[in-house]
């Protein structure tokens, strides 16, 4: 996992560093110079303009300029205070690279960058980008690469950040980041976050009960159930309000919703057979459904994922969960739950709801924020806009349910599922040419390929070799 520090957290980490500031500045400047050389494929004879401010970012830029000059680059240092609408002319030749070391996380005002005609390497953040929220203040330069110093900043992953920062890399400055509570998930983390199957496993060890769907919303129920099966649930029961037949795989056990369940009375003995439950997708928003969802939240039982219409049922009520709970709101559902939109500080919004409810909160977005009640946050940034399609959230709910059924803790299950969900549309298992027209059913169908590529269950089955004998 990659550490992610808010500007305030980074200031505290810097203040506790045993090395003096000039040592850290030297390390940072050297890292920036190395990144510039990689970007250019070498330094000799290249023309590099370094924009510097008065703060530590400017100091980092000056060190980088000096290092690059020693490697044969023709560097020009430009004071950010002297910038106009365009980058000043530097001799008779075009600039090969602009290093943006004007302002970092401490900028409290908009920054209007000059027009440049060369690639930009940003130091820590593109100047003018809010390090916490990812909001662009003014008109920042658009970087092709950003060197994050010590740790990633949330603003590189949220809002305008991904479009302005380009490719991000973290420069290790030797700082103590052991107290950091926010991290970005990587592919290599998933196999450890998702428990593998036991050698003597049977279907009931990882059984998932899905309560979803209603007349006209049969597809939602089918997508959840299919994703739960493909993500490793050994047994999936699907219950639906209303008399329609769910569109689900033949392996899914279909059961009608009982009269007791419709009245909001849940059989605790029946629940003990299941390792996880999912409720809400396509379930409808009737009073009967709302009562059933609320009663399930406050009754003891296995970990529960509440999604879609289940979240609407929880809006405006104060409940104390009697079981581990995962809430999966998008911005509209978050607004109904809390009474206001998440706002630009998405980490703070997710943390606040998680603490208030005592549940894991998965706040959906281009970068998904998963917050635990204790303040820890995991970020999933693997997805892209191909996930903005009807039913994609149902697939995510099913994956979370399966990972819970496998034995993952709710925080890890939700975060791992968000990363896997993103990978479904980000190239792994999608085949060649899938740039558009991706449907939610495509995502569910490719779960097995993606989980295999991420080495889920590899330890259990690594001894098995393929090929005919």
The yes or no reply on domain 2-180 and CATH 3.30.930.10 is: no
> What are the CA-CA distances from residue 108 to residues 53, 126, 127, 139 (Å)?
14, 14, 11, 14
Residues 214-235: tens digit of each pLDDT: 888 888 899 999 999 999 998 9
Could you tell me how many helices (H) and strands (E) the chain has, helices first?
A: 17, 19
188-459: CATH number: 3.40.1190.20
Q: Is residue 311 within 8 Å of residue 333, measured between CB atoms?
A: yes
How many angstroms separate the most distant Cα atoms in the chain? 83
* Eight-state DSSP code of residue 299: S
Residue 467 has pLDDT above 60, yes or no: no
Residue 194 has pLDDT above 90, yes or no: yes
Q: Is residue 131 within 8 Å of residue 105, measured between CB atoms?
A: yes
C-alpha to C-alpha distance for 460 and 46, rounded to whole angstroms: 52
> What are the CA-CA distances from residue 230 to residues 118, 135, 323, 450 (Å)?
47, 38, 25, 10
Lowest mean pLDDT among 63-77, 81-95, 338-352: 81-95
Residues 309-346: tens digit of each pLDDT: 999 999 989 889 999 999 999 999 999 999 999 999 99
Listed residue (102, 14, 98, 24) closest to 57, CA to CA: 102
Three-state DSSP class for residue 179: coil
Buried b (16+ CB within 10 A) or exposed e, 168-178: bebbebebebe
Q: What is the pTM of this model?
A: 0.91
Three-state DSSP class for residue 431: coil
Q: How many residues does the chain have?
A: 469
Q: Element (H or E) spanning 79, and its range?
A: strand 74-79
Mean pLDDT of the chain: 88
C-alpha to C-alpha distance for 27 and 30, rounded to whole angstroms: 5
Neighbours of 131 (CB within 10 A): 25
User: Average pLDDT in the 119-132 region?
Assistant: 94
Beta bridge partners of 238: 210, 254
C-alpha to C-alpha distance for 45 and 403, rounded to whole angstroms: 54
Residue 78 has pLDDT above 50, yes or no: yes
Report long-range pairs for 346-349 (Cβ below 8 Å, ≥24 apart).
Answer: 346/133, 346/158, 347/6, 347/132, 347/154, 347/182, 347/371, 347/377
In order, the DSSP letters of 139-177 are EPPPPSEEEEESSB-GGGTSTTHHHHH-EEEEE------
C-alpha to C-alpha distance for 351 and 403, rounded to whole angstroms: 22
> Residues spanned by CATH 3.40.1190.20 within the chain?
188-459
Q: Is residue 389 within 8 Å of residue 440, measured between CB atoms?
A: yes
Beta bridge partners of 235: 207
- Sheet with 167-171, strands from edge to edge, namely 74-79, 47-52, 97-101, 120-123, 145-149, 167-171
Comparison of pLDDT for 105 and 27, the residue scoring more: 27
Q: Is residue 437 within 8 Å of residue 385, measured between CB atoms?
A: no
Residue 242 has pLDDT above 80, yes or no: no
> Residues spanned by CATH 3.40.50.10260 within the chain?
2-180
Percent of the residues in the chain that have a pLDDT greater than 70, as a whole number: 90
Contacts of 342 (CB under 8 A, 6+ apart): 331, 334, 335, 349, 350, 363
Residues 7-27: tens digit of each pLDDT: 889 989 988 888 999 999 999
Listed residue (406, 462, 457, 398) closest to 424, CA to CA: 398
């Amino acid at each position: 996992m990659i550490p992610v520090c808010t500007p305030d957290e980074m200031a505290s980490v810097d203040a506790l560093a045993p090395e003096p500031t000039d040592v850290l500045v030297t390390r940072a400047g050297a890292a920036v110079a190395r990144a510039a050389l990689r970007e250019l494929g070498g330094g000799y004879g290249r023309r590099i303009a370094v924009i510097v401010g008065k703060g530590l970012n400017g100091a980092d830029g000056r060190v980088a300029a000096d290092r690059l000059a020693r490697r044969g680059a023709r560097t020009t240092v430009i004071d950010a205070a002297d910038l106009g609408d365009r980058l000043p002319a530097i001799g008779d030749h075009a600039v090969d690279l602009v290093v943006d070391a004007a302002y970092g996380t401490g900028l409290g005002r908009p920054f209007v960058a000059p027009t440049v005609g060369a690639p930009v390497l940003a130091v820590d953040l593109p100047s003018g980008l809010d390090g916490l929220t990812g909001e662009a203040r003014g008109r920042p330069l658009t970087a092709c690469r950003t060197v994050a110093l010590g740790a990633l900043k949330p603003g590189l992953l949220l809002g305008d950040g991904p479009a302005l920062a380009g490719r991000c890399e973290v420069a290790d400055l030797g700082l103590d980041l052991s107290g950091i509570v926010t991290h970005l998930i990587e592919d290599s983390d998933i196999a450890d976050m998702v428990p593998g199957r036991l050698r003597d496993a049977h279907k009931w060890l990882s059984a998932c009960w899905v309560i979803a769907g209603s007349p006209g919303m049969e597809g939602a129920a089918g997508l959840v159930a299919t994703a739960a099966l493909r993500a490793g649930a050994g047994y999936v029961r699907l219950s639906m309000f209303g008399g329609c037949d769910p569109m689900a795989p033949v392996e899914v056990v279909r059961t009608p919703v009982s009269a007791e369940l419709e009245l909001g009375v849940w059989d605790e003995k029946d629940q003990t057979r299941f390792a996880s439950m999912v409720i809400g997708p396509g379930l409808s928003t009737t009073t009967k459904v709302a009562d059933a969802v609320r009663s399930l939240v406050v009754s003891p039982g296995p970990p529960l994922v509440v999604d879609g219409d289940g979240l609407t049922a929880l809006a405006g009520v104060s409940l104390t969960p009697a079981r581990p709970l995962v809430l999966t709101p998008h911005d509209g559902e978050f607004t109904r739950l809390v009474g206001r939109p998440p706002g630009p500080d998405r980490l703070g919004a997710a943390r606040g709801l998680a603490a208030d409810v005592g549940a894991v909160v998965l706040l959906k977005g281009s970068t998904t924020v998963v917050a635990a009640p204790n303040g820890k946050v995991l970020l999933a940034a693997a997805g892209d806009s191909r996930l903005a399609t009807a039913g994609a959230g149902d697939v995510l709910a099913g994956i979370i349910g399966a990972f819970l059924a496998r034995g993952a803790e709710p925080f890890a299950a939700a975060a791992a599922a968000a990363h896997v969900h993103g990978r479904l549309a980000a190239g792994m298992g999608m085949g060649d040419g899938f740039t558009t027209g991706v449907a939610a059913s495509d995502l569910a169908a490719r779960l097995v390929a993606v989980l295999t590529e991420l080495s889920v269950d590899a330890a259990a089955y690594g001894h098995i070799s393929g090929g005919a004998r």
